[in-house]
């Protein structure tokens, strides 16, 4: 990622390649978690799903030149050569054009992606708010009751920051016991991993909160 498209970047660009050193690790982890890339020893290898995605995406999105062009325009904004509104308008126009030109699935691509929607699984436990069943789908874990707003997003900031995949097993224990012991939690401050007990701290708001308890305290 550090060298991808670097030759297309303007000489005075703030950074080269894709992403920044601070964001590259999280981008890679998300690609792995989404099933587009997998680790094989020290290498990152695209999965069949990842290869299929690259196949169907328009070339303008898969080329690092797009990043180079936006970096160049951002530099122009910084130098006062163009205003930020012009830059944003250009991106909106680009996205609108992209959607308009690619809004019909191509027959040759239909077999590349089987139905990826998760089937409704058995209940993982009872909702702490209304006692209805909580089930898993592709985006997270949701209460069966339409009138209840209890949900735990798979990409919840609490879990993604700790680089801990949120699994059905974890949610099942949280619903049953109100807490779960977890290993391999990542610390952004130290760059190391640690163990802790995660406590479900649901206060009835739009988002479910979590607290941590350390066994040595």
pLDDT tens for each residue of 34-87: 788 888 888 889 888 888 888 888 888 887 788 778 888 888 898 999 999 999
What is the CATH T-level fold of the domain 6-109, as seen in this structure? Topoisomerase I; domain 2 (1.10.460)
- Token match 């328009």: residue? 58
Mean pLDDT of all residues in 143-169: 90
Structure-model confidence comparison of residues 13 and 177, the more confident one:
177
pLDDT number for residue 131: 94
Q: Which pLDDT value is given to residue 20?
A: 65
* pLDDT value of position 116: 46
* Predicted pLDDT at 120: 47
What is the domain partition of the chain in residue ranges? 6-109, 125-213
Q: What is the 3-state secondary structure (H, E, C) of the chain?
A: CCCCCHHHCCCCCCCCCCCCHHHHHHHHHHHHHCCCEEEECCEEEECHHHHHHHHHCCHHHHCCHHHHHHHHHHHHHHCCCCCHHHHHHHHHHHHHHHHHHCCCCCHHHCCCCCCCCCCCCCCCEECCCCCCEEEEECCEEEECCCCCCCEEECCCHHHHHCCCCCCHHHHHHHHHHCEEEEEEEECCCCCCEEEEEEEEECCCCCCCEEEEECCCC
pLDDT at 117: 45
Residue 119's pLDDT band (cuts 50, 70, 90): very low
pLDDT in tens, 72-99: 888 889 899 999 999 999 999 999 998 8
What local confidence, expressed as pLDDT, does residue 18 receive? 60
pTM score, two decimals?
Answer: 0.46
Confidence tier at 9 by pLDDT (50, 70, 90): low
What is the pLDDT, as a whole number, of residue 80? 92
Question: Residues 120-140: what's their mean pLDDT?
Answer: 87
Residue 106 has a pLDDT of 75
Between 117 and 171, the higher pLDDT residue: 171
| More confident of the two residues 156 and 33 | 156
């Amino acid at each position: 990622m550090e060298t991808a498209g670097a030759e297309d970047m303007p000489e005075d660009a703030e950074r080269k390649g894709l992403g920044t050193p601070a964001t590259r690790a999280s981008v890679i982890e998300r690609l792995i978690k989404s099933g587009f890339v997998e680790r094989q020893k020290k290498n990152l290898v695209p999965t069949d799903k990842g290869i299929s995605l690259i196949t169907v995406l328009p070339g303008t999105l898969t080329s690092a030149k797009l990043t180079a062009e936006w970096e160049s325009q951002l530099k122009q904004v910084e130098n006062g050569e163009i205003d930020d509104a012009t830059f944003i308008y250009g991106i909106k126009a680009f996205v609108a054009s992209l959607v308009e030109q690619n809004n019909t699935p191509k027959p040759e691509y239909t077999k590349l992606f089987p139905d990826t929607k998760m089937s409704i699984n058995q209940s993982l436990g009872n909702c702490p708010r209304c006692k209805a069943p909580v089930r898993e789908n592709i985006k997270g874990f949701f209460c069966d009751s339409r009138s209840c707003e209890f949900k735990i997003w798979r990409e919840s900031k609490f879990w993604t920051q700790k680089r801990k995949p949120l699994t059905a097993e974890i949610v099942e224990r949280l619903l049953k016991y109100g807490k779960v012991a977890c290993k391999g939690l990542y610390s952004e401050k130290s760059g190391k991993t640690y163990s802790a007990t995660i406590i479900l701290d649901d206060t009835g708001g739009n988002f479910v909160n979590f607290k941590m308890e350390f066994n040595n305290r």
